[in-house]
Amino acid sequence: MFLVWRFQNPNQDAMWLWAISIVCEVWFAFSWLLDILPKINPIDRAADLAALKDKFETPSPSNPEGRSDLPGVDVFISTADPDKEPPLVTANTILSIMACEYPVEKLSIYISDDGGAILTFEAMAEAVEFARIWVPFCRKHEIEPRNPDSYFNQKRDPTKDKKRLDFVKDRRWIKREYDEFKVRINGLPEVIKKRCDTHNKKEEMKEKMVAKEKNGGVIPPGEPVNFTNATWMADSTHWPGTWFEPTIDHKKGDHAGILQIMSKVPEHDPVMGHADEKSLDFTGIDTRLPMFAYVSREKRPGYDHNKKAGAMNALVRASAILSNGPFILNLDCDHYVYNSLAIREGMCYMMDRGGDRICYIQFPQRFEGIDPSDRYANHNTVFFDGNMRALDGLQGPVYVGTGCMFRRYALYGFNPPRPREYWGIFGQYKMRTHNHHHGDDEDTQPLTDDHHPDLTLPKRFGNSAMFTESIALAEFQGRPLADHISVKNGRSPGALLAPRPPLDAPTVAE
């Protein structure tokens, strides 16, 4: 109505100014429409965790023991520089993920250290050792959040809703252990520096002895000693990544690839703890830890490494060989898991009927240390609670770079299964994916290249046979259960109950 009135009542004394203002107001109105129209259908979603447990973890004819039939999840954490991203923050993120309420044998965690720093490597080793007492403590007392730093800094009564009589004693003990853990992490730079100085002095003395032997017991004045200040690991070997004094093959952008399994593949059956005078009483508590791997991809001069995207690609390939979880959760090193049930909530959508067409699930971000009034809008409420929910009502939210659960098969570039043929809005024809029917003897077998139409595409994944074979397996394991006639692309119940094989040397080498 305002624009109509403006058109009908021009200013005869300043027509040029009136025309400019009309153009501006029409443009503002058009921009307003573009901003409002995508927000007319916001979506509120709720995950039914009880239904997920009943469907995948309750005893049934296909699952007599009630083992978890949920698919595996690989969690990727990315970091690049321990000077800008403190190792203690990264360690807390790792601990919050390790303590998530998801089947331990189905969870694998990878950290990508794009800087190849020995400080990050040794901090992660310390974090895994502390996790051996922190994770069972979280399971025993069901605490939230499971990031130690955030948990101990909460401004509320920690004993609220706690029923175990030993909670206060356990909390006091684990708090002391965490304080000692922080001291060890903060002291790592000095420990590494002293170690390197000690080894480098020994190497320098050896080089001087060699020079003396070559010159009759005397080092000629002015003759340099062929010696390089290296960075040393705890086992007295050279660190293959970036050195404190960069040199060829040991600097950012030029170092070897590193892969270290710091926590092995857990046992298939729960490993219950016991009473320990020096530790906590973990009787009846599963003490297993998820698999954890440190990865630093190889970098060489002259090659574009594509920063974080390249690091994620390296993790996708490495994890496909080591664990091959059908789903991937991507997190930054300073974004911890606040809700220990978050992975299960994401799985509610992926494993729902028709969930095989979902590419990814974007979790909202929440922030700490913000003033109560949030005067600078640091919570990003409009973006996460407004725009993202509105986009969900159209086709789906955008990927914001962290806190996102991907379907591995979608990351490989394959199309989702299509239940019907239809014409696109511009006449593009959508091809139907044929339904696959298997006999009883094939219910638990993944599709091979000969069966699945997507996998007949040209081989664009390199020469690794183990990697290409893992694609069909990940696609099969990521399907929802075929428990209803409406599920056209499902798997049979009980297909994911088999124990996970341990890692061997050829697999890690691959």
Annotated binding residues for UDP-alpha-D-glucose: 78, 84-85, 114, 307
Residues 6 or more apart whose Cβ sits within 8 Å of residue 87 = 119, 120, 123, 124, 185, 188
Question: From residue 399, how far is each of 47, 287, 306, 364 by CA, in Å?
Answer: 20, 35, 18, 10
CA 239/CA 250 separation, integer angstroms: 8
The annotated binding site for Mn(2+) is made up of 308, 332
CA 207/CA 213 separation, integer angstroms: 10
Question: From residue 312, how far is each of 128, 164, 315, 317 by CA, in Å?
Answer: 22, 42, 5, 9
CA 188/CA 88 separation, integer angstroms: 11
CA 225/CA 186 separation, integer angstroms: 34
The annotated binding site is made up of 78, 84-85, 114, 307-308, 332
Which residues are registered as beta bridge partners of 259?
Answer: 295
For Cα atoms 140, 64, 322, give the angle at the middle one, nearest 5 degrees: 65
Nearest to 148 by CA among 117, 125, 180, 119: 180
CA 333/CA 113 separation, integer angstroms: 10
Asked if 228 and 247 touch (Cβ cutoff 8 Å), the reply is yes
For Cα atoms 96, 376, 90, give the angle at the middle one, nearest 5 degrees: 20
The residue type of 49 is L
CA 352/CA 137 separation, integer angstroms: 32
